Structure 1
Amino acid sequence: MTKLATHTESGYERSDFDFYPTEPWITAGALGKLTLRGEVLEPACGDGAMARILREAGYRTWATDIHDHGYDGLDGLHNFLDTPPLDPACGIRTIFTNPPFGERGKLAEAFVRHALKIMMPVGGLVVMFLRVDWDSAGTRADLFERRPHWSRKLVLTSRAQFFEGEHGGKKNHAFFVWDALHSGPPTIDYINKPKVAR
């Protein structure tokens, strides 16, 4: 993996294109708690870590990225932030991804806002893997009001490992879920890492 010379809060150098593959148990854990809607767009698919699990679970998944990280299931190179509004006849009803974080989380916020902009009008679902405290910023408070349909938070009880040789990771993460068809208050649940059989 090519790295840039910029260091992040984790103490590791920032990866080109904020490329941090997601461990399989994380995506599988989310799918154990959620039922996705329609076809799925994974717009920051990287090496296919999430897309593989989504496809194995039976979801028709479109895997795109702004850069080719070598995933043989890549459907095309595309800047997600340039995605136009979806035709209602389009089958995509879920966006599921680990978005690039960017400086101070600005790119992740742009991904969330754009995903909501194109999914909510077609009755869709947005599932984003973010730092667990991502909902505590005042500048993002509008994202967690009843509209745009803030519905669920799935907190990992073990830390994600993004770097080779890393033990337990440096940050806590959760899946944040917005659902155009949701009514009522948001709920919270937890994803446990499976125990390794000895």
Structure 2
Amino acid sequence: MTANRSSAVMAQRHEAPDSLDDFPTPPWATRSLLRVLRTHGEVLSDQYAWEPACNRGYMAKVLAEEFAGVHATDVHEYGWDGQDGVADFLIDWGQDVPKVDWVITNPPFRLGAEFIRQGLRYARRGVAVLVRTSFVEGVERYDTLFQASPEAFVLPFVERVAMWKGVLLDPDVKVWDAERGTMKSPTSATSYAWLVWRRGEDGQFTSDTRFGRIPPWRRLLTRPGDYPPVPAHLRRPEGALL
């Protein structure tokens, strides 16, 4: 899909780079969602998706494996040439809004509820967000989001999704831990889940929430080339003793 250069798109937040939730999504985690959606009857090849926090494109590129088209935007420019434009998803898009069936993203945690509400406004078919499992807690989010707009699916991962700030790392490739002076496998103490909202045949979002678990699919759904080379600052220094 092509970039939208309208004045509405250009009226946006201006985030300092160090304020961004820069946690790239492992491709297998996105493929897990697509597998679940297909299981529930979604014909993704006939639909269009919007990834409004596209970062370096790791989620958008996976969505493009199955969707007819993917519109990828972000409030920040990360240097990925597949990004359709620097755009603030949370503005009032009016008539400039892209026509998409799904909004699928890993939103900034502090703006997660706002991203969901905006997605519910514009998605013709459904919304899916990758969030920390703790996101489902909290009275404020219940009052302002979940009470009126409950999810169709809550899908926690039984296997940890390793996400590191600013870099996508292969959990099977060890990196240098400068503090300890040793190599270690990338891991995460944070648990994640997909939350999915889905419209029924009547066009309304389903109000009954179903719980499911995403099996340990990391090895099954990881493909060659999914992970970039380990950045220099995480490689073992020359001469370092192990």
- TM-score (normalised: structure 2): 0.64
Take 1:150 and 1:129, find their aligned partners in 2: how far apart are those partners?
13
Structure exhibiting the larger radius of gyration computed from Cα positions: 2
Match for residue 114 of structure 1?
A: 118
**Residue of structure 1 aligned with 2:195, choices 176, 186, 198:** 176
Write the letter of the residue equivalent to 2:121: K
Take 1:91 and 1:193, find their aligned partners in 2: how far apart are those partners?
34
Match for residue 213 of structure 2?
A: 190
Deviation of residue 171 (structure 1)? 0.9
Match for residue 234 of structure 2?
A: none
Write the letter of the residue equivalent to 1:25: W
Report the CA distance shift for 1:15/1:29 in structure 2 as closer, same or farther (over 3 A): farther
Is 2:169 aligned against 1:160? no
Once the two structures are superposed, the pairs formed by residues 34-183 of structure 1 within 5 Å of their partners are: 34=37, 35=42, 38-85=47-94, 91-101=99-109, 105=110, 107-119=111-123, 123-142=124-143, 143-145=145-147, 147-148=148-149, 150-163=151-164, 164=169, 165=175, 167-181=186-200, 182-183=205-206
The gaps in structure 1 that reach 5 residues or longer are 1-13
CA contact (8 A) 2:28 2:217 kept: yes
CA contact (8 A) 1:44 1:63 kept: yes
Take 1:112 and 1:100, find their aligned partners in 2: how far apart are those partners?
11
Match for residue 31 of structure 1?
A: 34
Write the letter of the residue equivalent to 1:174: A
Take 1:43 and 1:195, find their aligned partners in 2: how far apart are those partners?
24
Take 2:218 and 2:48, find their aligned partners in 1: how far apart are those partners?
31
Report the CA distance shift for 1:86/1:191 in structure 2 as closer, same or farther (over 3 A): farther
- TM-score (normalised: structure 1): 0.77
Deviations along 1:155-181, whole A, 9 cap, x unmatched? 111122122546331211101111232
CA contact (8 A) 1:157 1:191 kept: yes
CA contact (8 A) 1:38 1:91 kept: no
Aligned length, in residue pairs: 175
Deviations along 1:136-190, whole A, 9 cap, x unmatched? 1111114223x43521111111122122546331211101111232446211112
Deviation of residue 82 (structure 1)? 1.0
Deviation of residue 16 (structure 1)? 4.7
Report the CA distance shift for 1:183/1:46 in structure 2 as closer, same or farther (over 3 A): closer
Deviation of residue 15 (structure 1)? 5.3
Deviations along 1:122-148, whole A, 9 cap, x unmatched? x43111111112111111114223x43
The gaps in structure 2 that reach 5 residues or longer are 1-16, 170-174, 176-184, 221-242
